[in-house]
Amino acid sequence: MKRTAFIAFVLISTALLSQKLPKGFVYLADIDTTITSELRYITHRNFIGKPINGYLKNTVIVSTETATALRKIQQQLQPLNLRLKIYDAYRPQQAVNHFVRWAKVLKDTLMKREYYPDVPKSNLFKLGYIAAKSGHTRGSTVDLTLVNTKTNKELDMGSPYDFFGEESHPHYKSITDLQKKNRLFLRKIMLNNGFTPYDSEWWHFTLKNEPFPKTYFNFPIR
């Protein structure tokens, strides 16, 4: 392939993989390049054990207001040798639909031991772990943790991300003092910057004044 043809091929391929976001949405990396991400739903490392529909690239998309708030938090964390790490942010409705279909197949318990060992799969809807609608799909909800910039390791929060059980409740008592301290610090800095926590997941926060409170989007992450 000639050089000019190769360059044209690369440009076309890049254009196909990128997209023009709806008005009011941004790629977080365009606002702050220091916030890292690990979108588990593009991999097999999640509670289903397979890549999730709509996740095509490890890139974080959020509402503009959410991105601005996260940048502010990151700036507050940097003098403390900490940084944000995003597990999930905007989530297309097709991914939520994927979760719902999976939850109805009770025999599919591939990842039960790691993610929901003490919760019957038949109870995932009733307990609120799976729902037909998600705040993530509105673009202003994030799942995240804190990383020590000196060691490049996540802070110990007492339970892993996406673990279904009481152990993940923000105020769960049967964890160490350090784990409680880490959870409360994350909760405090998010609250102080306009986010509302979720009672069942220490990692889950939604911007209080979210710009799309009743709109559920479905464009893919790419």
Residue 33 is predicted with a pLDDT of: 97
Segments of 111-207 assigned E as strands:
141-148, 153-154, 195-198, 201-207
Dist. CA 146–CA 73, nearest whole Å: 11
Under 8 Å between Cβ of 88 and 41:
yes
Structural domain includes residue 221:
no
What's the whole-number mean pLDDT along residues 173-186? 98
Which has the closest alpha carbon to 80: 211, 169, 203, 188? 188
Dist. CA 102–CA 121, nearest whole Å: 10
Q: Which domain holds residue 194?
A: 24-207
Radius of gyration of the chain, Cα coordinates, nearest whole angstrom: 18
Residue 15 is predicted with a pLDDT of: 43
Structural domain includes residue 2:
no
Mean pLDDT, all residues of the chain: 93
Structural domain includes residue 77:
yes
Give the total number of structural domains in the chain.
1
Structural domain includes residue 156:
yes
List active site positions: 201
Structural domain includes residue 16:
no
CATH number at residue 71: 3.30.1380.10
Q: What is the 8-class DSSP label of residue 179?
A: H
Q: How far is CA 144 from CA 5, 88, 154, 168, in A?
A: 42, 7, 10, 13
Is residue 8 over pLDDT 50?
no
Structural domain includes residue 11:
no
Q: pLDDT tens-digit profile of 36-60?
A: 999 999 999 999 999 999 999 999 9
Confidence of residue 18 (pLDDT cuts 50, 70, 90): low
Q: pLDDT tens-digit profile of 76-107?
A: 999 999 999 999 999 999 999 999 999 999 99
Structural domain includes residue 30:
yes
Dist. CA 76–CA 85, nearest whole Å: 14
Q: pLDDT tens-digit profile of 114-158?
A: 999 999 999 999 999 999 999 999 999 999 999 999 999 999 999
Structural domain includes residue 213:
no
Residue 19 is predicted with a pLDDT of: 72
Is residue 3 over pLDDT 90?
no
Q: Which two tokens stand for residue 134?
A: 């998600």
pTM above 0.95, yes or no: no
